[in-house]
Amino acid sequence: MTAVAPVASPRRRRTQAERREEAERLILDAAVRLVAEKGLDEFTLADAGEAAGYSRGLPAHYFGSKADLLSAVADHIREWFSTGLRTRVDRRRRGLANLIAGIDFYIDACGTDRTMLLVLHTVLAGALHKPPLAQAIARLNRESAEEIESAIRAGIANGEIRRNIDVRAWSVLILSSVRGIVAQWLVDPDHVDLPPLRASLIAVLKRNFAP
State which residue, 92 or 191, has the beta carbon closest to its own copies: 191
Smallest distance from its own copies to CB 115, Å? 12
Residues that bind DNA (CB under 7 A): 13-17, 19-20, 22-23, 42-46, 49, 54-58, 60-61, 64-67
Name which of DNA, its own copies, none residue 204 binds, using a CB cut-off of 5 to 8 Å depending on partner kind.
its own copies
State which residue, 42 or 90, has the beta carbon closest to its own copies: 42
State which residue, 40 or 100, has the beta carbon closest to DNA: 40
Name which of DNA, its own copies, none residue 90 binds, using a CB cut-off of 5 to 8 Å depending on partner kind.
none
State which residue, 46 or 134, has the beta carbon closest to DNA: 46
Q: What is the DSSP string of the chain?
A: --SPPPTT-TTPPPPHHHHHHHHHHHHHHHHHHHHHHH-SSSS-HHHHHHHTTS-TTHHHHHHSSHHHHHHHHHHHHHHHHHHHHHHH--TTS-HHHHHHHHHHHHHHHHHH-HHHHHHHHHHHHHTTT-HHHHHHHHHHHHHHHHHHHHHHHHHHHTTSS-TTS-HHHHHHHHHHHHHHHHHHHHH-GGG--HHHHHHHHHHHHHHHH--
Residues that bind its own copies (CB under 8 A): 37-42, 118, 121-122, 124-130, 134, 137-138, 141, 165-166, 168-170, 172-173, 175-181, 183-184, 186-188, 192-193, 196-197, 199-201, 203-204, 207-208
Name which of its own copies, DNA, none residue 206 binds, using a CB cut-off of 5 to 8 Å depending on partner kind.
none
Smallest distance from DNA to CB 42, Å? 7
Q: What is the DSSP string of 173-203?
A: HHHHHHHHHHHHHHH-GGG--HHHHHHHHHH
State which residue, 43 or 185, has the beta carbon closest to DNA: 43
Contact (CB, 8 A) for 113 and 186: no
Smallest distance from its own copies to CB 204, Å? 6
